[in-house]
Amino acid sequence: MSQESNDSLQICTSYVLEQLRIHEEESNDTKVVPFFLGLNGVQGIGKSSLVSSIARNLEQAPHEIPTVVLSLDDFYLAYEDQVRLATEYPDNPLLQNRGQPSTHDLSLALSVHASLRAGQETSIPSYDKSAFSGKGDRKPQQQWAKVNKYGQRPVKVVILEGWCLGFRALSDAQLTARWMDAVRQCTRGPGYRGRLGHNRLEDVHFVNEALRGYDALTDQLDALIHLDAENPQYVYAWRLEQEHQLRQERGSGMTDAEVVDFVNGYYPSYELFTDHLRAGAFEDRYGVQLRLVIRKDRLVKQVIKI
């Protein structure tokens, strides 16, 4: 299915309600487990704003569906652990900042998911991106919000948003072929605007191997929405805009040069893994992925159900 529309909130809310209905109809348990929705998109595309609005639509009348929003960002390694990882691999530029697969605490993410799936009282981690001059750090546990507390209606929808959610690792042969092609483009001259060709094969191989562990999150999703930037280069302008706002609100954050360097660390993964996600993250399930092609003005150019 393909269509054109600019109202991403209406599109996504309708899609979630449709998939939730199917989820409940297909459940064999007397107690229906929560519906897990994933949302993928590059930095600055508007993931956080969209999932917050979707959740608000679901929780308000006439639906009144208890919903919790999680961000993959909130599962980043604590600052000390991130520094330790960067120090352990000082020659890998992809690991010098938070972002790439291997810089998240997957065990924490999976334990939170398991607790929510079981309907238990659950503390939701939170991450402060402005800490340590924009390097970031996880907030103390006493500041984490709790859901499914005694007397509350149990969470019925869990929304997890993240820039690499739904990415699948490549085979060694696929990885090497894509890297070699990027290197060839890079050496031809200034026309190459990517970052993959500027990195060593062993460095992107480390990230590719780490990504395999994220299948444990993606495979739990009942549906996935992909906010697909029409041109991945938009991420630089979007992320700069986002950081400027963060500095205004909190009084600290990264400089423009640091933001560009920060995005550079993500960009090889867009070159490696986006094509597969566009084709579909779930090989054996049709209709559980919705792809919204997003223009530079963040309006929807095309909607495709996969």
Query: What pLDDT, in 10s, does the model give residues 112-161?
Result: 999 999 999 999 999 998 899 888 999 999 999 999 999 999 999 999 99
pLDDT for the residue 30: 64
Query: For the chain, first and last CA: distance in Å?
Result: 8
Tell me the C-alpha distance between 263 and 198, whole Å: 14
| The dihedral formed by the CA atoms of 231, 236, 240 and 246, expressed in degrees to the nearest 10 | 80
pLDDT for the residue 5: 44
3-state SS class at 234: helix
* Phi, psi angle pair for 101, to nearest 5°: -50, 135
Contacts of 14 (CB under 8 A, 6+ apart): none
- C-alpha distances (whole Å) from 44 to each of 40, 239, 249, 287, 297 are 12, 5, 16, 26, 12
Lowest mean pLDDT among 19-23, 30-34, 101-105, 201-205: 30-34
Q: Is residue 6 very low, low, confident or very high in pLDDT (cuts 50, 70, 90)?
A: low
**pLDDT tens-digit map of 165-187:** 999 999 999 999 999 999 999 99
pLDDT for the residue 4: 41
Contacts of 255 (CB under 8 A, 6+ apart): none
Is the pLDDT at 1 greater than 50, yes or no?
no
Q: ω before 62 within 30° of 0 (cis)?
A: yes
Nearest to 70 by CA among 141, 165, 153, 151: 165
Is the pLDDT at 281 greater than 90, yes or no?
yes
**Mapped to the 3 state alphabet, what secondary structure does 39-55 carry?**
EEECCCCCHHHHHHHHH
pLDDT for the residue 274: 97
Tell me the C-alpha distance between 149 and 154, whole Å: 8
Nearest to 289 by CA among 275, 298, 276, 278: 278
Of all helices (H) and strands (E), which one includes residue 71?
strand 67-71
User: Quick one: how many helices (H) and strands (E) in the chain?
Assistant: 10, 11
**pLDDT tens-digit map of 214-270:** 999 999 999 999 999 999 999 999 999 988 888 888 787 788 998 998 899 899 999
| The dihedral formed by the CA atoms of 129, 134, 139 and 144, expressed in degrees to the nearest 10 | -10
Is the pLDDT at 89 greater than 60, yes or no?
yes
3-state SS class at 223: strand
